[in-house]
Amino acid sequence: MEQERICPWWLGYTLILPIRKLQHDPQKILTPHVNPGMTVMDYGCAMGYFSIPLARMTGSGGKVYCVDIQEKMLAKLRKRAAKYAVADIIVPLQVGKDYHAANLQGKLDFALLFAVVHEVPDKAALFADMFAMLKPGGKILFVEPQNHVTTEEFRKSIAMARDAGFNELDEKPLKKGLAVLLVKY
Ligand SMILES: C[S@@+](CC[C@H](N)C(=O)[O-])C[C@H]1O[C@@H](n2cnc3c(N)ncnc32)[C@H](O)[C@@H]1O
């Protein structure tokens, strides 16, 4: 399957700028879904804009698996995790290297797919892996950027998630944009 266009690693620095909070406030976006002690995944984590807040929310009793395909994104994430004293909670994993969905079957309470699915060539396989990794009752917050993804493309991805076994919840997880909550019953 052909690789979609991947966000260049140097753009990762713009994704961690504090001003982004005006549009994507991690506290507001994630707090309703993440509790202390949870095991969660930030898939397509880049330099960890959401991973660090996720680690603070799960606390030392939890785990945040941070998956990306680019080592440079994960290298910066490791440095930031140390700086913010959450390195013991964060587990960086690289696609094609040490990320193996089969090792995490039935382990996750929650997964974040924020602005990444449109970059993944085999979306059906991604949702199938997510379904296998989540516990029953586990949720995905799935968000896509409106400047790269049409509503029709977003609906197609949701259809693939449904085919993998997910149900779409009625609640709206973000005020604006392409965002949905998916649950594994
Ligand atoms: C637009 S960035 C979004 C980053 C982050 N979720 C955020 O909102 O700040 C997309 C990220 O997905 C990663 N990515 C692209 N294809 C991927 C794949 N097949 N598996 C895992 N990560 C991937 C890119 O390297 C990049 O870091």
Each residue's pLDDT tens digit, 105-132: 999 999 999 999 999 999 999 999 999 9
* Ligand 1 pocket, Cβ-based, cut-off 6 angstroms: 6-7, 12, 15, 44-46, 49, 67-70, 73, 95, 114-116, 119-120
CB 12: neighbour CB atoms within 10 A?
21
Which of 119, 123, 127, 149, when mutated, tests ligand 1's pocket best, judged by the most ligand atoms within 8 Å of its CB? Answer: 119
Strand boundaries in the chain, DSSP class E: 39-43, 63-68, 90-94, 108-114, 134-144, 167-168, 178-183
Confidence band (pLDDT; 50, 70, 90) for 12?
very high
So what CATH class is 25-183?
Answer: alpha beta
Structure-derived torsion over alpha carbons of residues 184, 70, 122, 163, reported in degrees to the nearest 10: 10
Q: What are the residue boundaries of the structural domains of the chain, listed by start?
A: 25-183
Distance (Å, rounded) from C-alpha 109 to C-alpha 39?
A: 6
Q: Is the pLDDT of residue 137 over 70?
A: yes
Mean pLDDT of the 34-43 span: 98
Question: Structure pTM?
Answer: 0.98
